[in-house]
Amino acid sequence: MRMYDLIKKKRDGGELTEAEIRFLIEGFTKGDIPDYQMSAFTMAVFFRGMTDRETTALTLAMARSGDVIDLSGIDGVKVDKHSTGGVGDTTTLVLAPLVAACGAPVAKMSGRALGHTGGTLDKLESIPGFSVYMTPEQFVDSVNRLKVAVIGQTAAIAPADGKWYKLRDVTATVESVPLIAASIMSKKLAAGADALVLDVKAGRGAFLKKFEDTLKLAETMVSIGTRAGRRTVALITDMNQPLGRAIGNALEVKEAVETLQGRGPDDLTELTLALGTEMLVLAQVAEDATDARRRLGEAIRSGRALEKFREMVVNQGGDPAFIDDPSRLPTAPVRVVVEARASGWVDAIDGHELGDVTMLLGAGRRKQDDEIDHAVGLVLRAKVGSRVEAGDVLCEVHAARPEDAAALTERIRAAFSIGPRPPEPRPLVLRRVSAD
């Protein structure tokens, strides 16, 4: 088999066989296929697309390019959840203990912040003492005892994806439905869960700007999961503003605690309940969506969800004192506010821009090995639909130095779009996609 022929076949709109796709992924992972040929092939896929059969074969080949985690030692149906990249997306911190408190095992592997998006691992590491490292045996044992553990995804999971993503990033080929679907699903399949709930973001903060493309991405991922024998459900959710009020590591941990106490922001609470409902049904601990909602609500009201969070923190070496006293979390020395210049209604908030701003404050990474400041970030004081008068506070900035905040104030203000009329209310969950 020659890579030249595969590039030509895809360039001319042909369908690759499973053997050809395996050859491609194995050769690229080993370094036998050079970046220049892989780049040409990737651009051909960008324009020609892939059939569902090709996309599934590609995903499986990528999933098998490294370690495939065996979670069979964990009792029950393991359900994983994945978000396609939110800003201030605090859901995993809330969902993991909440769903576990309802009896579904949560064996979660998460990633770190990069660019404008945050990472669950960095958020958890703002808890004093918390460790995201465990041996596979400790991981399985923790989930059997507590129903929940959240650890770091190692480089050994789908290495073909790590290498390919770097190449896509510099060849303008990220925004391809089959390539995004295969990239995400290969990591999820290798991470070993039995079932999967996907939160696919739509709107201005999302990877794909057009709703039809987002829908196609959700359908493709559900189809791959189903063909691979994992029950998969996707919710397409609105991202015309960041989720909740906090963006930044320790600030989001505090927001997660408030949400587990039943006093979190409405949109974060609603999204958590919607995703949690799907997870409980797929894990077969709830009979249907109504039963699942009731169980989730009860776990929050009774305090069991918060108690589960405390257990998880202690199990992973963290000091749980911050749960009752948030001042134990890292706190930024500088706090300034950004005020509205005009009066009106907030009709959109640019999450991508605020994600970049938060990274520049020090909460995220420009490059993979940048250091993180857990204390800094933003707290939104106005959300889409808020009425504001000139001079009202839009956002609090938590910074390490006054000049960091000052340099970003104008960008933060400009991220809030203020119009003359209240915006049409939009549902948070725009569409549910499942195999049936």
Contact residues: ligand URA, CB under 6 A: 84-85, 165, 174, 179-180, 183-184, 207
Backbone angles phi, psi at 141, to 5 degrees: -65, -40
| Helices within 228-317 (DSSP H only) | 249-260, 266-282, 289-301, 304-315
Q: Indicate which residue of 82, 108, 254, 308 is catalytic.
A: 82
The enclosing H or E element of 58 equals helix 52-63
Binding test (CB under 5 A) with Ca ion, winner from 66, 85, 88, 152: 88
- From 80, 122, 161, 238, the catalytic residue: 161
Q: Which amino acid would we find at residue 281?
A: V
Q: Considering 183, 186, 223, 386, which one is annotated as catalytic? A: 183
Closest CA to 153 of 101, 205, 192: 192
Distance CA 412, CA 349 (A): 10
Cβ(350)–Cβ(204) below 8 Å:
yes
User: Is 147 noted as a catalytic residue in this protein?
Assistant: no
Q: Least distance in Å: CB of 184 to ligand URA? A: 5
Our finding on whether 224 is near Ca ion (CB under 5 A) is no
Q: Which residues contact 302 (CB under 8 A, 6 or more apart)?
A: none
Question: Cβ of residue 250: shortest distance to Ca ion, in angstroms?
Answer: 12
Smallest gap from residue 175 Cβ to ligand URA (A): 9
Among Ca ion, ligand URA, none, partner that 246 touches (CB below 5 to 8 angstroms by kind): Ca ion
123 flagged as catalytic: no
Q: Which of 112, 187, 295, 398 is catalytic?
A: 187
183 binds, among Ca ion, ligand URA, none (CB under 5 to 8 A by kind): ligand URA
Sign of CA dihedral 228, 91, 234, 173: negative
Instruction: Let me know if 52 is a catalytic residue.
Output: no
Residues 280 and 297: beta-carbon distance below 8 Å: no
By beta-carbon proximity to Ca ion, the closer residue of 242 and 318 is 242
Burial of 393 (0-12, 13-18, 19+ CB in 10 A): middle
Contact mark string toward Ca ion, 242..261, x via CB under 5 A: -xx-x---------------
Q: Which of 64, 116, 123, 168 is catalytic?
A: 168
Binding site for Ca ion (CB under 5 A): 88, 90, 243-244, 246
- The residues that are catalytic are 82, 161, 168, 183, 187
